[in-house]
Amino acid sequence: MNKILIIDDLHPSIVPMLESIGYKVDYEPNITKAEVYQRIEIYTGLLLRSKMFIGIDILEKALRLKFVARAGAGMDQIVEEEVLKRGIKLLNAPEGNRDAVAEHVLGMILTLFNNIHLANEEVKQGIWEREPNRGHELNGKTVAIVGYGNNGKTFAKRLKGFDCEVLAHDILPNSTYQDLNAKAVGMEEIYQKADIISFHVPLTELTNEMVNTTYLHRFQKPIWLFNLSRGKVVVLKDLLAEIETGKVSGAGLDVLENENLPSFKANQPELYKRLMANPKVLLTPHIGGWTFESHEKINKVLFDKINALNANK
């Protein structure tokens, strides 16, 4: 019997779904990396989120593996070239959390624009100040979306009711990405016109530390920056410096270069202190696609793709 090993915490609906198409499923979200190495050779399928890196070492042990499925969008936890070279299929589920990501970035924008995070704390402390908390309207702003895949396109759709000009730029060469919700443009137009920029790109050699001082200085007016992709896309020290000078009006970050906060604090104490103290930075713990609904939607997406593999044998 074909066997699937699930090594991360997925919505429990995944087990009966996979069993319904003939798989024996071992659901072990608490399994250790060492145990995965010991047991992987008997499985035809591996489902994971972010527990471990899938590199050559584990692939050499995965003698029967037919597919690796990631419960999320990014594939930077997997050495894609090595997986594909062995004839192993790669599956992911960006369709499952695109609504959650789109709503999260919109919530971050509205929170920062209207000082909701700051005003909430002030009122709870007995401070009732209106003028210092005067906000901005999203209506009429130019929003640039860099990375126009599932998440970027869904975010653009959410912006339709705000009467924004939406510009889209995709990093993939020769991609066709203009639709009714956004205008496809080059980066030069974004540098000239953007009030807001939101990143929805994978982490690759091209995007690693893409947003640095040079990148930010190309914008012709102050921007609001939002990153719901990968932390290493944005050089944090460069972004903070530009926020402190006013080149960047504010930032919403759902991801960081180092998401192990104790390690971040120990190794970069000054940067950590500046980040946590800056009222123009809104932080969330990588939860952009982390909703109750997306938890279940991801299962359905992965199930459909695994089922399609069987149908195409």
Answering whether pTM is above 0.85, one says yes
Torsion of CA 95, 96, 99, 101, to 10 degrees: -100
Domain that holds residue 147: 137-279
* 123 in any annotated domain: no
Which pLDDT belongs to residue 74? 84
61 & 145 share domain = no
Residues with a known catalytic role: 230, 259, 286
Give Cβ neighbours of residue 58 (< 8 Å, ≥ 6 apart). Answer: 36, 37, 40, 52
275 & 143 share domain = yes
- The one-letter amino acid code at 149 reads G
Looking at the structure of the chain, the number of domains it has is 2
Which pLDDT belongs to residue 207? 96
Pull the structure tokens for residue 120: 């909430």
173 & 212 share domain = yes
164 & 74 share domain = no
For residue 173, is pLDDT > 70? no
233 & 296 share domain = no
198 & 307 share domain = no
Q: Where are the beta strands (DSSP E) in 51-169?
A: 67-70, 89-91, 142-146, 165-169
194 & 158 share domain = yes
71 & 158 share domain = no
141 & 32 share domain = no
d(Cα 68, Cα 44) in Å, to the nearest integer?
A: 9
302 & 250 share domain = no
* 106 in any annotated domain: no
For residue 174, is pLDDT > 70? no
pLDDT digits (tens, 9 = 90+) for 27-47: 999 999 999 999 999 999 999
**Band of residue 76 on the pLDDT scale cut at 50, 70, 90:** confident
d(Cα 295, Cα 71) in Å, to the nearest integer?
A: 9
| Collapsed DSSP state (helix, strand, coil) of residue 221 | coil
